[in-house]
Every structure is written in structure tokens, then in C-alpha cells.
Amino acid sequence: MIKLRNVSFSYGENEVLKNVSFETGDGKSLVIMGPSGSGKSTILRLLLGLESPHEGEVLINGDNICTMSEAQKRETRKKMGMVFQDGALFDSLTVGENVGYYLIEHTKMKFDLIGEKVEEMLGFVGLGGDNVIDKLPEQLSGGMQRRVAIARALLSTDPKLMLFDEPTTGLDPFATRNVLNLIRKVNSEKGIATIVVTHQIADAIEIADKYVILHEGQVAFDGGLDELRDCSDERLKNFLEPFRESFRLVLGKNFVDC
Amino acid sequence: MYLIGIGSMFLIVLTGIFAGQGFALAFSVELADFGAKNYLGRIMSISIVRELGPVLTGLMIAARVASGITAEIGAMKSSNQIDAMTAFGIDPMSKIAVPRLIALIVMVPVLTVFCDAIALAGGWVISIFIAHVSSTMYWAAVKERLVFGNLLIGLLKPVVFSFVIAYIACYKGFTAEGGTKGVGKATTESVVLTSITILIVNFFITKVVFSYLKGYL
Ligand SMILES: Nc1ncnc2c1ncn2[C@@H]1O[C@H](COP(=O)(O)OP(=O)(O)OP(=O)(O)O)[C@@H](O)[C@H]1O
Ligand SMILES: [Mg+2]
């Protein structure tokens, strides 16, 4: 179980998160939304222990990641997967080595076997037939790199939590569909908890059990879809306004009072 | 390892040969005044093996390799690759820094010995053609000063320099901030700082060794 309790965080003078609290259960799917710069990526960084909050606690299964030793942090991180907003592929390694990174580093698995798993995972994200395995990340398009990043995060021994930072941004509709199916599959078939940051409300509705909406570093909303629809918070209405259309398309009905 | 070693070879050859010739030329003129040209080999041997070889090699590697290491790590940091590595439960410090340190510890002493040899050969050319000291005389004098103490200093220095280069280059890379510009700045700082540190450390090693190992020199 993941829990943020009264977390505040700043980059220098810039106060990014103010008293943020929310939680999500094992195997649940949480979607974090909010305007650009509201601190979504920062929350994922806090969950991985890449940054430490100035106040409050980040609890992973009851353990505060901020007070762990480096070795404990490493063990905790092995149970998590992260897809960075910009992919963050290792640019000196081939696509195959990127995707197999976890297995190469943390297991004694045979090289051939890793190769097979990598192929399989690349097929899973729709890059099977393209012969990308021996290419370098820079030789791929942005959307392909993103899918490689997703494959890399998924190919670990047994993750308990997957973090996706805007996994579908910049993908064509077909790839978007694949990635969303993938996230749902990870969540429902493997029982892995997912936390997904996205701007696409249609995507969010498809995968979320629960929504957290940030506004200027504070939690503006925390709850399920029904509550979201009935919510009358002004900030929230403003944020959701641009998505009115997609809401209607996806749900076949309006949100809030329209 | 390959990049540090073979890649730097040409640079070291050039530096070594010209520095050796320059030294020999200057010394031979000065020694001729005292009628002591036959000592050319001894002076060359001491100055090159103990000081010039290690320092020149250190500085060349600082310019060529420290900059590369800092830029590489800095770029990895600014594109989140370091964070990605951390997120995989890996300690980027040991994953990235240790292999580079090991490569340096192996290659810098080897290159130093190489530089010494080239520089001494450069001196030899001068001694024959310009200073008119016979080849046998020169090499005998060189050998006379290749004693344990001098060799020890000559090999201890590059090992210490390797640590200096690896530490500063990695540190500057890991702490680079502010995108491409920040990486550029960190790279420059890394080269300047390693070069200065090498010169300072060089002095202190010589000093300490002079105090404690005088009998072997
Ligand atoms: N490394 C950093 N140094 C300083 N400030 C930062 C840094 N990273 C992010 N910030 C600041 O923190 C705030 C939140 O950033 P964050 O990346 O979490 O936003 P976000 O919600 O993910 O936005 P987006 O939707 O555009 O990705 C922003 O105001 C940003 O300027
Ligand atoms: Mg972001």
C-alpha cells in the first residue's frame, strides 16, 4: 500500500507540493491529473525516493522511504517500475539491453533467455516486427522510445507497483490503445498497483479506480469517478472544463452540472 | 579502458617526444657551461621519470578523459538516466564511477611509463645530434638514476592522479545542474580543477617522498 501523509516539498524557493496526502491500495489503479507544473512528476519522484519531502511521510507498505538506508531503498525500488516522462532510456545501450536491463543487472538469467523475454516484451508494446532490438534509442521515434521505456519498466522479476509518467503523450491512437490495454492488463492480470500520470481524461477513465487531481501543489480532488462527476469545487470545474467533450464521449453523459 | 588507453596514446607520444627534446636541449646547453654534458642522461632520467612524465600524462588525461567522463555523466543526469538507474535499484555511483576508476588506475601508469620512454628517447635524439653526447654515455647515465626510489615516485604519482581524475570528473558530472549549459560548465570546471589538483598533489608527493625516502633517491 502506498500512502503520502502531509507531504510538502520545494525545489529551492519554489514550493511544489503543499501538504499532500492520499493513498492507494495493493493492486489498485490510481490516476494523477492536474495542470502542467502542478507537481505530478514530483510525486512520482518522491515515491521512488529520488527526492525527499521536507515535511510529511512517503509510506511504501508502511515503511517510510525517506528514512530507509540506501540499501533498503534499493531493495524497495526493485519492486517498483517507473516510466519517466521523457523515457530516460540509456542512450549508450541498445534497445534490447535497455529492455533487459533489470534482468541483466539483478538476475543470473542466461543471455538467450533474456533475449527471448525482451523480444516478447517488445512484441507486447507493439515493437515486435520492427527489428528495433539492436538499434540505439536515438534511432527511434519519440513514440517508439516511450514504448521501449514502458517495456523496460515492465520487464522486471516481480514488480508490485508501476509508475507511469504520461505514458500515452505523443503516441498515435493505435499505440495509445496498446499502452492503455497494457496498463490495464498489468493491473488486472498481474495484480500490480499502478499510478498513472496523464492529461488524457479519456485514458484516465479507462484505467482508474481512483483519481487524484492536483492544483498548484495541493490535492484538489481525491476519489472515484462518481464523486468526480458530482464534484462542485470551482477549481476542479475549471480544470475539467476543457475535457467536457471527452467526458461526454467516453461516458455518454456529462459531468457536474452540465 | 580502450578509449582511455589507446585513444590517448598518440597524444602522449607527441607530448612526450617534444617535452623530452625541449628539456634535453635546455639542459645540454646549461650543462655544457660546466663541462658536465655527460650528466645529461642523469638529469633527464630524474626529471622525466619523477616529475615530467607523470605530470604531463596526468594533465593530458585530465584534459582528454576527465572532460569526457564529466560530460558523459552530466548528460546522463540531465536526461534522467541516472534517476532511471536509481529507480532500477542500482547504485549509479558504483555502477558508473568504479569501472572508470579502475580503467584509469590501469591505464594512467601504463601511459606514464610510455610517456617516460618516449621523452627519454626524445632526449637521446638531442643528446646525439645536438649535444654530441654518445649514445652509450646517455643511456648509461639514464640507467644510473633509474633507482628504486625514483621509479616508485614515478609510478606512485600516476596511481594517485587516477584517483584525483576519477573523483573530480565523476563528482562534477553527478552534480552538474542546469541542462546542456550546466554540463558544459561542469566539464570545464572538471578539467581545470583536475589539472590544478594534479599539479598540487604532484608537489606534495615529491615533498613527502623527499622527506621520507631520501636514502633511496
Ligand atoms: N529539477 C528541478 N529543479 C527546480 N524546479 C523543478 C525541477 N523539477 C521540477 N521543478 C518545478 O516543480 C514544479 C512541478 O514540476 P513537475 O515536473 O512535478 O510538474 P508536472 O505536474 O509533472 O508538470 P507536467 O504536466 O508539465 O509534466 C514546476 O513548477 C517546476 O518548475
Ligand atoms: Mg511531469
* pLDDT score recorded for residue B174: 94
A22: phi then psi, degrees, rounded to nearest 5 = -165, 170
Total structural domains within chain A: 1
Inform me whether the C-beta atom of residue A74 falls under 8 Å from chain B C-beta atoms: yes
Q: Are B172 and B74 in contact (CB under 8 A)?
A: yes
Does any CB of chain B come closer than 8 Å to the CB of residue A120? no
Return the pLDDT at A141: 85
Rounded to a whole number of angstroms, the distance between the first and last alpha carbons of chain A is 36
Q: Determine what percent of chain A is predicted with pLDDT higher than 90.
A: 21
Q: What is the pLDDT of residue A242?
A: 66
Say what the pLDDT of residue B140 is. Answer: 87
List the strands of the sheet with A161-165, edge to edge.
A80-83, A161-165, A193-197, A29-33, A210-215, A218-223
Q: What is the DSSP string of B21-38?
A: HHHHHHHHHHHHHTT-GG
Name the 3-class secondary structure at A212.
Answer: strand
Q: How far is the CA of A42 from the centre of ligand 1 (A)?
A: 6
Q: At what angle do helices B98-129 and B53-61 cross, to 10 degrees?
A: 130
The C-alpha atoms of residue A174 and residue A188 are separated, in whole angstroms, by 21
Domain hosting A220: range is 1-79+161-167+195-258
The band of A181, judged by pLDDT with boundaries at 50, 70 and 90, is: confident
Query: Of A226, A182, A219, A232, whose CA–CA distance to A203 is shortest?
Result: A182
pLDDT > 90? residue A144: no
Q: What does the mean pLDDT of chain A come to? A: 85
Where residue B89 falls (left for φ over 0; alpha for ψ -120 to 50; beta otherwise) is: left
| A169 in contact with ligand 1, CB cutoff 6 A | no
The pLDDT value given to residue B77: 92
B29-35 long-range CB contacts below 8 Å, 24 or more apart? B32/B131
Task: Report the pLDDT averaged over residues B138-167.
Answer: 89
- Is residue A6, in this structure, part of any structural domain at all? yes
The yes-or-no verdict on residue A197 having pLDDT over 90 is yes
CB-CB contact of B12 with B107 (8 Å): no
Name which residue sits closest to atom 19 of ligand 1, judged by CA.
A37
User: What CA dihedral angle connects B39, B41, B45 and B47, to 10 degrees?
Assistant: 60
The residues, any chain, with a CB within 8 Å of residue A258's CB and separated by 6 or more, are A244
How much is the pLDDT for B153?
Answer: 87
Task: Check if the beta carbon of residue B37 is closer than 8 Å to that of residue B31.
Answer: yes
Question: Which of A11, A46, A92 would you mutate first to test chain B, the one with the most B CBs within 10 A?
Answer: A92
Q: How confident is the model at residue B4 (pLDDT cuts 50, 70, 90)?
A: low
pLDDT at B28 over 70: yes
pLDDT at residue A258 is higher than 50: no
pLDDT of residue A238: 73
Is ipTM strictly over 0.90? no
Whether the CB-CB separation of B217 and B85 falls below 8 Å is answered with: no
Torsion of Cα atoms, B53 then B57 then B60 then B62, to 10°: -130
Q: Could you tell me the pLDDT band of residue A257, with boundaries at 50, 70 and 90?
A: very low
Say if A65 falls within a structural domain. Answer: yes
Name the more confident of A20 and B146.
Answer: A20
User: Ligand 1, atom 17: nearest CA belongs to which residue?
Assistant: A41
Q: How far apart are CA B142 and CA B139, in angstroms?
A: 5
Task: Tell me the residue length of chain A.
Answer: 258
Average pLDDT of chain B is: 88
B90 interfaces chain A, CB cutoff of 8 Å: yes
Every domain of chain B and the residues it spans:
2-216
Can you give the pTM of this predicted structure?
0.84
- Whether A89 maps to a domain, the answer reads no
What is the mean predicted confidence (pLDDT) over B91-110?
A: 91
Query: Is the four-CA dihedral B147, B150, B152, B155 of positive or negative sign?
Result: negative
Candidates A240, A246, A249; CA nearest to A257 is A240
% helix, strand, coil for chain A, step of 5: 45, 25, 35
**Which residues of chain A neighbour B89 with C-beta distances below 8 Å?**
74-78, 106
| pLDDT, position B33 | 81
Give the integer Cα–Cα distance in Å for B56 and B78: 32
Closest CA to B122 of B28, B4, B217, B5: B28
Query: Residue A182 above 90 pLDDT?
Result: no
CA distance B72 to B3: 13
pLDDT in tens, A122-142: 887 888 777 888 889 999 888
Q: What is the CATH number for A242?
A: 3.40.50.300
| H-state helical runs in A16-167 | 40-47, 70-78, 95-99, 101-106, 111-124, 142-154
A32-65 pLDDT tens trace: 988 888 899 999 999 999 988 988 999 998 888 8
Region A142-149 average pLDDT: 87
By C-alpha distance, which of A214, A192, A169 is closest to A44? A214
How far apart CA B189 and CA B66 sit, in angstroms, is: 10
Cβ of A16 below 6 Å from ligand 1: yes
Q: Indicate the pLDDT class of residue A252, thresholds 50, 70 and 90.
A: low
Residue whose Cα lies nearest atom 6 of ligand 1: it is: A11
- Residue B194's pLDDT band, with cuts at 50, 70 and 90, is very high
A74-83, A224-233, A241-250, B202-211: least confidently modelled range = A241-250
A37 lines ligand 1 (CB under 6 A): yes
Residue A100 has φ and ψ, to the nearest 5°, of -85, 5
Q: What percent of chain A has pLDDT over 70?
A: 93
Instruction: For residue A29, list its beta bridge partners.
Output: A194
Q: What is the pLDDT of residue A245?
A: 63
Cell numbers 519519440: residue: A142
- Per-residue model confidence as pLDDT tens digits over B32-74: 888 777 788 888 888 899 889 999 999 999 998 999 999 999 9
Residue B167 — pLDDT band, cuts 50, 70, 90?
very high
- Which stretch of A74-83, A249-258, B13-22, B196-205 has the lowest confidence by average pLDDT? A249-258
